[in-house]
Amino acid sequence: MSADAQAREELMRLGASGVPAILVDRELVVGFDRDRLRALLHDAIVACEHCGAQLRLPAAKGTLRVTCPKCGGRFTCRT
């Protein structure tokens, strides 16, 4: 981060004060949490068809029937 001032400022704005701080999509992982990083990197992000909420689903599982935890809307999607 010492070479990239913009990246340093973004992580500081997000509240990252520990090392390592890794930004995956819009989720900040502070410290080396192997399980959390694996989940973030191997999940698919889909938008709810009803309310637009961002949902994290397991990737490469084929067609899934999903119920949005925010609005309760049901839809199918392919991951």
| Averaged pLDDT, groups of 10, the chain, 79 residues long | 77 74 81 84 90 91 93 93
**Which positions ≥6 away from 7 have C-beta within 8 Å?**
1
Confidence at residue 22, expressed as pLDDT on a 0 to 100 scale: 81
In order of 3, 27, 58, 70, the CA distances from 46 in angstroms are 34, 15, 10, 13
- Assigned token pair, 28: 């900040």
**Which positions ≥6 away from 2 have C-beta within 8 Å?**
8
- Assigned token pair, 65: 């029937």
